[in-house]
Structure formats: structure tokens, C-alpha cells
Amino acid sequence: MTINFGKMKRGRSTNKSGMYFLNNNYEVLYIDCMGECKQRKEVGEYFVNSGTKRIKLESIGEVGNVIHVPKYRTKCKVCEGSYFSNWQRKSTKRAEYQKNWNDDNADHLIAVRHNARAKKLDLLATLTADIVKEIREEQQGRCILSGLEEELEFEHAVPVANGGGSTFENCYFINPYLNATKGNKNIFEWAKEQYNFIQRRFYNILVPMMAERNGMTPKEYEAFVYNQYNKDEKGIS
């Protein structure tokens, strides 16, 4: 004998769980699937969540106190498989769209991210997607120091932590390894630790480029960078 258990509440909604059918021992035998198939199936066709559902017997017209039944899923295994396959396809499609959007708007994202860092410290933050693109094109898509076409990271000559803003005058592209070794070091002190090839490109290409952007000579630019670090050490803003 089965008992029409009725719709079991799930949270605040009464239409998300199918009909449960029990025998005289209050064991669930069948459940109406709420998935696409809408069929009544044996409990073996459903996955089970952890825990149990507490039901008052009087609510189903039976004598007694309370019974506990397993928390079966609302969809059968077939419908759940179809649901998650569709969900996975949609998720993959969304991920592909997001990746394509990020790739198409890489310069915009760089500008937004680095401007946000500078604004937190009340520093100049004037980067735009066009400015980032201009810097990239000026370097012809190459690392300014290695000269190679490789993965690049956006770098501040004077780090934000040391008072360098996110501006055209303070930024360039560099490969991840060199960027990681530089950290927040004074760029001129850091250059002394590099191979001769990197040092030559530093003094012959990077320093003149940054000096020109700032309307200085290379010597004036070097003094400017050291002054930024001296101010930081003395706590001068």
C-alpha cells in the first residue's frame, strides 16, 4: 500500500519537490520527478542529499508523531544529468565569452586595475585604454629590456608604493621574470644587478624613453627617481 505523501516543502517554496509515495512502514517508494520527464520513478532513480526531512504524521492524515525520510533530489538522475550537461555547456560558453572579452579589452582592464591602485594612495591615475595601447605599440609588443616578443606585464618605473602614479610618464611593459625581480626596488639600483645585455638596454632605451616622457634628460630622470625613494624613506609626501 502506498500513501500519497503530497508535495513536501523545500525552503519557502511548495512547487520544487515532487510527490512522495510511501508504504505502510513510511518508506519512500516512488517520487514524481520535477525535471523534464515529469515521470513517477522509484527512489533508486534519484540522488540523495545529506540529512533527512522531518515530517509530522498528522499533516498527512496519519496517527503518530514524526517520521524522518531521506532528502531525495527533486529531479531524477536522467534529468539531473541533462540539466548539468546544459549548465556545463552554458558555463563553458560564458567562460569563453568572458575570455574573449578580456582579450579584446586587455588594455582597458590594465588601465582600470592600475588606476585603482594609484587612487587608493591618492596618486595620479590617468591611464586609459588608448594610453596603454600607445605604450604597447611604442614597444612593438616587446619587452622593453629583453627585446623579445613574449608574455608582458605592465610595470611602473617608480612603484605605486613609492609614490609613482599610474600615468603614461611612469609605465611600460616588461616580461614577468624581470618584473618579479624588480619588485619595489629603485629601478637604477635594480639595473646594476642585471646582466650586461639588460643593463645596456636599460641605459640606452628605457631610461632615455622615460626621461623624454617626463621632459627631462637621462641624468635628471635618474635624480628624480632617487629623489622619489629618498622622499619615501623620510616620509615626505
Q: Work out the pLDDT band at 233, boundaries 50, 70, 90.
A: low
Q: Is the per-residue pLDDT at 237 higher than 50?
A: no
Q: Is the per-residue pLDDT at 115 higher than 60?
A: yes
Give the chain's mean pLDDT: 86
In this predicted model, what pLDDT tens digit does every residue of 153-182 receive, in sequence order? 999 999 999 999 999 999 999 999 999 999
Q: What is the pLDDT of residue 64?
A: 67
Q: What is the pLDDT of residue 18?
A: 63
Please tell me which residue, 143 or 72, carries the higher pLDDT value. 143
Domain positions in the chain are 3-76, 106-231
Q: What is the pLDDT of residue 86?
A: 79
Q: Work out the pLDDT band at 63, boundaries 50, 70, 90.
A: low
In this predicted model, what pLDDT tens digit does every residue of 16-50 receive, in sequence order? 556 778 787 878 888 888 888 989 999 899 989 88
Q: What is the 3-state secondary structure (H, E, C) of the chain?
A: CCEEEEECCECCECCCCCEEEECCCCCEEEEECCCCCCCEEEHHHEEEEEEEEEEEHHHHCCCCCEEEEEEEEEEEHHHHHHHHHHHHHHHHHHHHHHHHHHHHCHHHHHHHHHHHHHHHCCCCECCCHHHHHHHHHHCCCCCCCCCCCCCCEEEECCCHHHCCCECHHHEEEECHHHHHHHCCCCHHHHHCCCCHHHHHHHHHHHHHHHHHHCCCCHHHHHHHHHHHHHHHHHCCC
pTM of the model: 0.64
Q: What is the pLDDT of residue 12?
A: 35
Q: What is the pLDDT of residue 62?
A: 63
Q: What is the pLDDT of residue 121?
A: 95
In this predicted model, what pLDDT tens digit does every residue of 176-207 receive, in sequence order? 999 999 999 999 999 999 999 999 999 999 99
Q: How many CB atoms lie within 10 A of CB 25?
A: 6
